[in-house]
Structure 1
């Protein structure tokens, strides 16, 4: 399959490099026939990316739909960053680019601003639902990750924005780097509980810098280069501990360093985003 209208945007760069390659397809002609889900899923595979986002623009708004090789997702944070970056790059107006986005049954605001060849994009992913895991979730997910309850402590949480995932703390970046989860077991556990995957993170510095890895085999993504919605969930969780802004370094285990930033208020509302690069035409 070819995807001639697709652009591969690198979302959530770190220091201008790396990032998550994301296929973005602009469907500006509302009268054109829309491809089916299977064809959209093949877009990411054809372009060698983990995710593809289809964007249908209508005036000052745009509808986003997200796909991996195995199906459609209700939300994708780095896909939203990539879509915003491409829309901003195609925008002729001066100043920051702002647009109303629709995805997964939600309507929310997105914005982007150019800084030379880079574009900073951010959006409101919606309120975050947080709860403690059940005993069964705890008992199945942690061993699949190769972790013990003592390593993670009492701060494991189930967090939802778009779709629930488990947030799992580890003490150090070194422990995070050394992780080798059993992806088959993890996928089975996540399928059983309806979880997107496991977002594992190191203890944040006083300034909110941390490292994270997102494992999501159930959706065909063994490990995500950058996971913005997971970072938004973590920001909401850490806000209850007095840390309101975080920068999560991701992608190092995949050879593509990425950083996602998120700022949380006291009402579990979050602003999340990153820096992207759109290829020149």
Structure 2
């Protein structure tokens, strides 16, 4: 097993993610224990016995997730490194009952990984102000740049646009209240973001105390959701989002959304810096 830095920015930072080659003898209580001991926000367990499409499961300190975007990126980087190859194209991964097409390429500054997120459901009239989410974030209505929106690649989360980067960096949520509100409304968490005025770049912070992650260093799935939202509202669905600055772990995720016959889909990418193997058993 190893701790790798997923979604690095300019060769540094990234989200520390534990990746375990699962020998299938572990029970879930043991996986939970490993996730707690690892000290990272997420742990990916890879079952390679399933052949060409390994099954990957994701755990936090409090439970199992059906999906984790930066966990997919971390797992695919480790699988490429273990293979000794320089790149994988058209590789598949099974997680949460879904199959994800992935690409991994070895670069001079890490391993670049892309995955197809699948269809993203976009819902209007998000219950944010009435449900107390804005207040739980420590924000006022004047801080919000546009209406929040619910987006779901399988698990719904609230996209909250704030007026500028300064407002974004100043957010100090009441995590207990936010966890209660998110659980009540069925949200994974709140993805707050501020877009640059002249380019498809921006900054974001993901708060998910309801799943045991007060603030995520990098939340790749939410960047894909944001790309889908931007495609739907502005016609341009390519975005690079910086995260992790308030946690001193600068990260970067790129996403591009397109229209298909099935709905809006997104492709998500990030760089991985591999770390040393460790023993957490």
Q: With structure 1 as the length reference, what TM-score do the two structures score?
A: 0.92
Structure 2 counterpart of 1:3: none
Q: Indicate the SS of the match to 2:117.
A: coil
Change (3 A) 1:73 1:206: same
Candidates 257, 261, 269, aligned match of 1:264: 257
Structure 1 counterpart of 2:2: 7
Q: Is the 8 A contact 1:62 1:99 kept in 2?
A: no
Deviation of 1:154 (Å): 3.7
Q: With structure 2 as the length reference, what TM-score do the two structures score?
A: 0.92
- Listed as ranges, the gaps of 5+ residues in structure 2 are none
- CA distance, structure 1, for counterparts of residue 82 and residue 41 of structure 2: 23
Structure 2 counterparts to residues 107-186 of structure 1, below 5 A: 107-135=99-127, 138-186=130-178
Structure 1 counterpart of 2:247: 254
- CA distance, structure 1, for counterparts of residue 127 and residue 84 of structure 2: 53
Structure 2 counterpart of 1:77: 69
Structure 2 counterparts to residues 199-214 of structure 1, below 5 A: 199-214=191-206
Change (3 A) 1:49 1:136: closer
Deviation of 1:134 (Å): 4.2
Structure 2 counterpart of 1:67: 59
- CA distance, structure 1, for counterparts of residue 126 and residue 157 of structure 2: 13
Deviation of 1:137 (Å): 6.2
Structure 2 counterpart of 1:36: 27
Structure 1 counterpart of 2:269: 273
Deviation of 1:147 (Å): 1.7
Deviation of 1:280 (Å): 5.3
Q: What CA deviation, in whole Å up to 9, does each residue of 1:112-144 have, x standing for no partner?
A: 000125100010111111112444664311111
Q: What CA deviation, in whole Å up to 9, does each residue of 1:7-37 have, x standing for no partner?
A: 101000000100000000112x5xx52x222
Matched, 1:19 2:19: no
Matched, 1:55 2:42: no
- Listed as ranges, the gaps of 5+ residues in structure 1 are 1-5
Q: Is the 8 A contact 2:126 2:150 kept in 1?
A: no
Structure 2 counterparts to residues 95-110 of structure 1, below 5 A: 95-110=87-102
Candidates 187, 195, 205, aligned match of 2:187: 195
Q: Is the 8 A contact 1:23 1:43 kept in 2?
A: no
Q: Is the 8 A contact 1:125 1:272 kept in 2?
A: yes
Change (3 A) 1:248 1:134: closer
Q: What CA deviation, in whole Å up to 9, does each residue of 1:217-242 have, x standing for no partner?
A: 01110000000001110010011212
Q: What CA deviation, in whole Å up to 9, does each residue of 1:190-220 have, x standing for no partner?
A: 0101110000000234321100000000111
Q: Is the 8 A contact 1:22 1:49 kept in 2?
A: yes
- CA distance, structure 1, for counterparts of residue 194 and residue 229 of structure 2: 14
Aligned residues: 272
- CA distance, structure 2, for counterparts of residue 75 and residue 49 of structure 1: 16
Q: Indicate the SS of the match to 1:49.
A: coil
